[in-house]
Amino acid sequence: MLIAGNWKMNKTASETVEFCSALRRRIGGIAEEVDVAVFPPFTSLAAAVRLLATTEIAVGAQNVHWATEGAFTGEISAPMLRELGVYAVIVGHSERRQLFGETDETVVRRAAAALEAGLFVIACVGELEEERDCGDTDAVLRRQVSALTEDDRLVVAYEPCWAIGTGRTATPDQAREAHDVIKSLLDVPVLYGGSVTPGTAEELLAQPGVDGALVGGASLDVDSFAAICESAIRIRS
């Protein structure tokens, strides 16, 4: 089971040093019982890698470009991330799709480049609120997931867009149904993401087909993130 913390555009490098030092003390021992990863902003990656290098906590990036180099202002390539010691990347997060024009095609290209470079990939999929209201969740997930290629280093995160940063969370039944659709298309681990908190984590993680969580806001606080990791351990045992 994997618990991944997506920090989004939060924490400076100095704040990352403080957080990672506290995280080591808080979950250094339990990180061997459940897979844990944090995804800081680009400017904090080096600090996170340095602080967590001797632990079982992995460090990932929140995005990656499909080219290895070139005239792509503001982008980061997989070789650059590998040189930093980064272990994984997130691609296709709903905020990237909705705010920055990501498409299924660009998500696939980013994922393929990262996998080819030896990085693990968390590829995000999920429906808009209006798509769920119209009964199109299944079709949306099939379109997004079918574009991906199965790989041993690929993880899919189901994150209903209407639950991102809203405080709303999919019901356990909704999460299970979506994960069943994804797993019918790809034989890969599937995480749930969407306002995961210490209060909702255990019930969601206990659902069949839920292999972990992609945590947003709750990953910014050491105690709340640790509590979610501890929930994952209880589910595994």
Mean pLDDT calculated for residue range 176-187: 94
CA distance 48 to 57: 10
Mean pLDDT calculated for residue range 110-139: 93
The C-alpha angle with vertex 185 and arms to 215 and 7, in degrees rounded to 5, equals 15
C-alpha count within 13 angstroms, C-beta hemisphere, residue 191? 30
Number of other residues whose CB lies within 10 A of the CB of residue 134: 12
Mean pLDDT calculated for residue range 171-189: 92
Asked if 145 and 182 touch (Cβ cutoff 8 Å), the reply is yes
Bridge partners of 3, per DSSP, are 36, 213
Residue ranges per domain, the chain? 2-236
CA distance 200 to 88: 25
Mean pLDDT calculated for residue range 106-132: 94
- pLDDT given at position 224: 97
Mean pLDDT calculated for residue range 88-98: 95
Question: pLDDT-derived band of residue 3, with 50, 70 and 90 as boundaries?
Answer: very high
Give me the helices (H) in the chain, please.
13-27, 45-52, 78-84, 94-100, 104-116, 129-133, 137-146, 172-185, 198-205, 222-236
Q: In one letter, which amino acid is 160?
A: P
- pLDDT given at position 171: 84
At residue 128, does pLDDT exceed 90? no
Topology (CATH level 3) of domain 2-236: TIM Barrel (3.20.20)
Mean pLDDT calculated for residue range 76-97: 97
**Closest C-alpha to 38, from 22, 25, 20:** 20
pTM for this predicted structure:
0.95
- pLDDT given at position 220: 98
149, two tokens: 């290629």
Tens digits of per-residue pLDDT, 56-80? 999 999 999 999 999 999 999 999 9
Altogether, the residues listed in the chain come to a count of: 237
Q: How far from chain centre, in Å, is Cα 180?
A: 18
Mean pLDDT calculated for residue range 207-235: 95
41, two tokens: 């902003």
Active site residues: 93, 159
